[in-house]
Structure 1
Amino acid sequence: MIEVEHLSKIYGSTVAIQDVDFSVNSGEILGFLGPNGAGKTTTMRILAGYIPSSTGTARIAGYDVHEQSMQVRQRIGYLPENPPLYPDMTVESFINFVAQIKGIAAGDRIIKVNSAIERCQLTEKRSVLIRKLSKGYKQRVGIAQAIVHDPPVIILDEPTVGLDPKQIIEVRNLIKSLAGQHTVILSTHILPEVSMTCDRATIINRGKVVKTDIPANPTQDSPLKSSYKIEVEGDITPIIPLLKNIPEVIELQVNPIENNYHSAISILAQPNQEIGKDIAAIIVNSGLGLLEMRRDRPTLEDIFLEVVGTGEVK
């Protein structure tokens, strides 16, 4: 539904994004993840037809963003980081105004406006002036204006920035409800945003895509190594060579615990390898007590830090 190939944007001597490649499948929610200043907003603006790219191509629903701009705009809903709202209009009058701008026929307009208001849970606020709404409700109005014409593609740029925890949960649930009926790309620098909302993630850093096709909750098929934390009772000296000889083991560390021959063992294994049964068998067959064994699966944060670095991430 969304195809981006070798997209670049250059402002004078400043490269905002360079050779960006990714795609989004129909009905999917893709998290476009990166630190502040990585090039997320620039990419979203190009996809929305707000600014042109310097080189490369982007297609939405088969239409070229640059050469077929009007066809693309008819098929997208766009929520920029700061929603373009008119504070002195009521919620209903504003959504109706946007529906007119987007060319919805007069006979369909009432149905479309009511549907957008209901889907965004704005029914009780439909007659309220937008300037009197909380930021969370303003974000809902922003999403309502993006979906009022029922577009196949929705582009959301930092949709929960500045919201309180309750508002964040509400907006996340709203975005998740769009999946299936719409294809959604959501840019953010907030890791839980992707884990709790998206199907996949693409990571951008310093204007370049550094990782793509990452499961939002990478419990399987992760490119990172697996780790096991084990606590054993007894003399572990004889089993250390046996554990190291497991083919998938990369690294093993022993941390003695001053408590009746207890030891903590950390094992690092190859990615996507389940060696827990082998570890347990060696320990039990040696007559030692297996007090605890835990596998630490890689998280989206682990992957993010692996490819972007260890700078602070919100």
Structure 2
Amino acid sequence: MSIDVSNITKTYGEQKALNDVSFKVSNPEIVGFLGPNGAGKSTMMKILTTYLNASDGSASVNGFDVVSKKKEVQQSVGYLPEHNPLYLDMYVREYLQFNANVYKVEKSRIEDIIELTGLTPEAHKKIGQLSKGYRQRVGLANALLHDPEVLILDEPTTGLDPNQLVDIRNLIKTIGKEKTVFLSTHIMQEVEAMCDRVIIINKGEIVADKTLSDLRQGQEQVVIVEFDYRVEDAFLLKLPKVKSVKNTQDFIYEITFSTDEDMRSHVFDFAHDNELKILQLNQKNASLESLFRDLTS
């Protein structure tokens, strides 16, 4: 088992940041650790990476206890904290060489990691000259440098633009085919795009632990559409598999379908048949967002 957490509790004075938390993560697997701000996500990750000691309970990573085998845990884990700590005055290769020396990694590994993380076009620059997306890549490159079995990533996509998001998502998915990836986020789209399984934490306690396939069973889908004219709800209710219709604003409608099939083509055909123009047409998955909202509100 790559990560084994048993009855972990962490208190700060009278406040419990984590309360009797238990879960296991196998290899290879990408697990999303979800929760609202202040739920205990970062605290759990700091315990798993030996930066914090738990008040009670036990945890191991790659078979090493996080208290009695701290050095072994640190050597076998790649960690990208939420606030990526980088030496901005160092060049990309210089920074990775510095960390390679710490881990006693062969120099040839540096070029392999630069290529894997897509840093080649920017590798000649100082880190301070890089965009947020490329700085995240440097953090990931550093976390991967010593070829760890487990990657622990705290909010790895925060602050990235849409293009950067796609690149980092694809990189994490590629890594997750061979390694254990345990990542925290509060963005549902990131979970849908990358994860095999979801653990939801709220107020320091695990409130859900499910695979994505389990969450998709009986899944609902919401299509948000804006027409150029008002449409009676009764007409939209005739669309196949419609559960409900809500006119949210002016000519904008939220149509809930009782299926995980992409129903946007049906909405498009409806508009075409009724000589309506579509000004926007978006799809969102209602199941995971609803579950998150219900469990953490």
Greater gyration radius: 1
Distance verdict in 2 for CA 1:216–1:65, change over 3 Å: farther
Preserved CA contact (<8 Å) 2:243 2:257: no
Residue 307 (structure 1) aligned with residue 270 (structure 2): no
Aligned counterpart for 2:148 among listed residues 139, 146, 151:
151
Partner of 1:92: 93
The CA RMSD measured in Å over matched residues stands at 2.6
Q: Once the 2 structures are TM-superposed, how far is the Cα of residue 294 of structure 1 from its aligned partner?
A: 5.1
- Counterpart CA distance in 2 for 1:37 and 1:256 is 40
Partner of 2:36: 35
Runs of 4+ in structure 1 deviating by more than 4 angstroms, as ranges, are: 262-268
TM-score, structure 1 as length reference = 0.73
- Counterpart CA distance in 1 for 2:167 and 2:134 is 10
Gaps of 5+ in 1: 228-254, 269-292, 310-314
Partner of 1:140: 137
Preserved CA contact (<8 Å) 2:32 2:184: yes
Counterpart mapping for 1:63-212 below 5 A: 63-104=64-105, 109-212=106-209
Gaps of 5+ in 2: 222-231, 245-255, 261-285
Residue 24 of structure 1 aligns to which amino acid in structure 2?
V
- Counterpart CA distance in 2 for 1:50 and 1:256 is 55
Partner of 1:312: none
Preserved CA contact (<8 Å) 2:31 2:195: yes
Preserved CA contact (<8 Å) 1:195 1:216: no
Q: Secondary structure at the match of 2:159?
A: coil
Distance verdict in 2 for CA 1:129–1:294, change over 3 Å: closer
Preserved CA contact (<8 Å) 1:194 1:216: no
- Counterpart CA distance in 1 for 2:129 and 2:235 is 62
Q: Secondary structure at the match of 1:88?
A: coil
Residue 14 of structure 2 aligns to which amino acid in structure 1?
S
- Counterpart CA distance in 2 for 1:97 and 1:195 is 36
Q: Once the 2 structures are TM-superposed, how far is the Cα of residue 47 of structure 1 from its aligned partner?
A: 0.5
Residue 32 of structure 1 aligns to which amino acid in structure 2?
F
Distance verdict in 2 for CA 1:87–1:211, change over 3 Å: same
Deviations 1:15-71 (A, max 9, x none): 111111111110100000111111100001110111111111111111111111111
Percent identity reads: 42
Distance verdict in 2 for CA 1:111–1:265, change over 3 Å: closer
Q: Secondary structure at the match of 1:111?
A: helix
Preserved CA contact (<8 Å) 2:9 2:21: yes
Preserved CA contact (<8 Å) 2:241 2:257: no
Deviations 1:104-131 (A, max 9, x none): 2xxxx22211111111000121111000
TM-score, structure 2 as length reference = 0.78
